[in-house]
Structure 1
């Protein structure tokens, strides 16, 4: 079979969630998909579940490798994919059955290299926690050569998109990097000309209730390593004259998103190192406090859309710069 979409599913110790994820892929209305499951060194019963699907369905491919992390699991999937488009689904999440069908059809309709849908956070019981709309204010087709604004305002999720496979030539997810999506997704956009999107909330992102609190560490400094990787590609791209959009990318990812992580880091030495790196990149990129304060995202001042608590936090950090 010639596959329209290859769905890459990295797996690491998710035996309690994996069936729901895989069932959502098997039951897609788009039948010309291959499901590439990469077991990244799981020590639980995940492989037993994977074997069940591999033996039952011809379009399921099973790959086992030693534990190397999410990026390398995805990269292994990319190397083994044959579909026209690639998609990435985390193994504790699931997707609506029409997702791949509509997104592939949108890609063909608009000759788009990337197609985006919206996400929503769901708890273990299927309860909606939060909707995460993506680009609802934009048209179904976005010509990046005419309007590159999206680059400085988008969220860099890998999971709610499909990508033309050729975009990954000479691009892979960086190994052992904390913000691997931010180091990768913008680089794919820099190679694209046309984006399409649907406003439907097709991707269901599981927030595990009762799970161990996320560990916020010095690894947050990887944000700036990711930005430096993207900058190399930006400078070589056909969009390198769009300096204002590049500055907005720095402000959103390097200031607002970075500080949202930094706020939870407890170690004082780590916080000093991280804030020093923030000051350095803003200085090198000649980003002023005024630009940060008046940063607009999709036509609205971003700071004004946040809660009072967050506004106070960000303004205090601005004063310290």
Structure 2
């Protein structure tokens, strides 16, 4: 197979109402001999596979791969085994791009030695109405970032110009050739930070425009409250924290991440008590909450409200485990 500049992997599960818009928004990349596109049909029970084949008949560089339903991570891993491109882009089949910037992206990939190309994004509702946008305040068209600045931007919160969300990034394939997605939800952040552990990352660019439109579907996997989702959220927090410690990031970044983990662990505790009532989730959430307060200086930026809320859930999680948690 002739090498390509860019490989695009699109996991697709029951997205018959979204897939055509997602693919056609790739515009400049379609029928482009330097781009290959893989639609990984993950055992869909609707017309996703049929629509995928219709699109592959319409555009010469689309290939449809069908597998039994094994989840997003497995679909991405299958796609990663197929790629021949210098760069790889993991794109979701129910979102869409602002096509006007795709020629710029192609030019950056073709003319620079960038290792990671990130770009701005917007959250939109089902009809495409923009709910919010995430960019650097800098007016520059694109911004060069050190790895330390990049990590800080992901962890630091604020306007979240650099999200942990993987479809806002195009990555040099050689950097992820041996990586695989864990079989879990909320897998993007652990994958991104495992990537960032690689010492061969030297060039990171950020295209400071809204390129990606992230559709907020109420029925999406990550919006449902289940034992699996809450457990995977806690696991994701642990994995990112482990990567940060391996990389030896600054104390400031560790403190920022502690605050992020604290807020997420409190959120998980609240949802678990209200809806799931899992003893294991409560125990794991408390383990994380206790760890966060064991680090010197980790609570300096945390408000009194959050501290009191933490102590409340530390107690409630323990008590309710003995009352009615299963």
**What's the offset of the Cα at 1:206?**
1.4
The runs of 5 or more residues in structure 1 that have no matched partner are 296-302, 304-310
Among 196, 210, 213, which residue is 1:204 paired with?
A: 213
**What's the offset of the Cα at 1:174?**
0.5
CA RMSD of aligned residues (A): 3.3
Equivalent position of 1:298 in the other structure:
none
CA shift in 2, pair 1:124/1:29, >3 Å = same
How many angstroms apart in 2 are the aligned matches of 1:198 and 1:288?
36
The runs of 5 or more residues in structure 2 that have no matched partner are 157-161, 315-326
Moved more, 282-291 or 61-70: 282-291
**What's the offset of the Cα at 1:170?**
2.7
Aligned residues of 1:103 and 1:197 also touching (Cα < 8 A): no
SS at match of 1:5: strand
CA shift in 2, pair 1:291/1:209, >3 Å = closer
* Pairs within 5 Å for 1:33-72: 33-72=35-74
Equivalent position of 2:321 in the other structure:
none
Aligned residues of 2:38 and 2:79 also touching (Cα < 8 A): yes
Once the two structures are superposed, residues 132-151 of structure 1 have per-residue CA deviations (whole angstroms, 9 ceiling, x without a partner) of x1444597001226875335
Moved more, 218-227 or 26-35: 26-35
CA shift in 2, pair 1:235/1:291, >3 Å = closer
Equivalent position of 1:317 in the other structure:
309
Aligned residues of 1:30 and 1:101 also touching (Cα < 8 A): no
Equivalent position of 1:165 in the other structure:
173
Aligned residues of 1:28 and 1:97 also touching (Cα < 8 A): no
SS at match of 1:92: coil
How many angstroms apart in 1 are the aligned matches of 2:207 and 2:55?
30
Equivalent position of 1:141 in the other structure:
144
SS at match of 2:9: strand
How many angstroms apart in 1 are the aligned matches of 2:275 and 2:127?
34
Length, aligned pairs only: 300
Equivalent position of 1:306 in the other structure:
none
Once the two structures are superposed, residues 184-216 of structure 1 have per-residue CA deviations (whole angstroms, 9 ceiling, x without a partner) of 111112223332102211111112378899421
Aligned residues of 1:145 and 1:193 also touching (Cα < 8 A): no
CA shift in 2, pair 1:184/1:73, >3 Å = same
Aligned residues of 2:115 and 2:203 also touching (Cα < 8 A): yes
Once the two structures are superposed, residues 280-299 of structure 1 have per-residue CA deviations (whole angstroms, 9 ceiling, x without a partner) of 2344466559634616xxxx
**What's the offset of the Cα at 1:10?**
0.5
**What's the offset of the Cα at 1:75?**
0.8
In the alignment, structure 1 residue 150 sits paired with structure 2 residue 153: yes
**What's the offset of the Cα at 1:73?**
0.5
* Pairs within 5 Å for 1:86-165: 86-106=88-108, 111-131=113-133, 133-136=134-137, 140-144=143-147, 149-150=152-153, 152-153=155-156, 155-165=163-173
Equivalent position of 1:19 in the other structure:
20
Aligned residues of 2:292 and 2:298 also touching (Cα < 8 A): no
Aligned residues of 2:86 and 2:173 also touching (Cα < 8 A): yes
Among 175, 180, 189, which residue is 2:187 paired with?
A: 180
Q: TM-score, normalised by structure 1?
A: 0.80
Moved more, 88-97 or 276-285: 276-285
How many angstroms apart in 2 are the aligned matches of 1:281 and 1:293?
17
SS at match of 1:201: strand
In the alignment, structure 1 residue 251 sits paired with structure 2 residue 259: yes
In the alignment, structure 1 residue 291 sits paired with structure 2 residue 298: yes
Once the two structures are superposed, residues 210-258 of structure 1 have per-residue CA deviations (whole angstroms, 9 ceiling, x without a partner) of 889942122212233234444555555xx32535424433432x22234
Runs of 4+ in 1 over 6 A off after TM superposition: 209-213
SS at match of 1:117: strand
**What's the offset of the Cα at 1:12?**
0.7
How many angstroms apart in 2 are the aligned matches of 1:187 and 1:94?
26
Equivalent position of 1:216 in the other structure:
225
How many angstroms apart in 2 are the aligned matches of 1:230 and 1:288?
16
**What's the offset of the Cα at 1:276?**
3.5
How many angstroms apart in 2 are the aligned matches of 1:231 and 1:289?
16
